[in-house]
Amino acid sequence: MNTNEQKFECLAVTQVEVSVFKQGGAYLGKLRGFATIVLNDQLQIRGLRIMDSENGLYVGYPTDPYCREDFQHMVLPMTRALREHIENCVLEKYQQAIG
């Protein structure tokens, strides 16, 4: 079984769409792209950000633009296993998209 097909408790990423974010052939800051995922072919989550940092690529989750606090997440995995599963699926698709 492929690691990305492994289910964590009752959730699995069943679909990933990635948009590489470049302007004029260059990246804008640390943002590398956006992703949309589908869990169990039933729940779509949009607005995941593919970000670059000193420690490499990571997936940032959508935040509430109306929240007065810094970075109040609208969607956030509750377990490390699910977070890693989502990140692996998204970053694998991103690597395929950039070639």
Residue 42 Cα distances to 9, 14, 37, angstroms: 16, 9, 10
Tokens at 32, concatenated: 């590398």
Q: Nearest CA to 45 among 7, 96, 83? A: 83
Question: Rounded to an integer, what is the distance from CA 22 to the centroid of its chain?
Answer: 17
Does residue 69 carry a pLDDT above 90? no
pLDDT band at 9 (very low <50, low <70, confident <90, very high): low
Tokens at 2, concatenated: 């492929």
Q: Cβ(57)–Cβ(50) under 8 Å?
A: yes
pLDDT at 22: 73
* Structural domains present in the chain: 3-98 (3.30.1120.40)
Does residue 12 carry a pLDDT above 80? yes
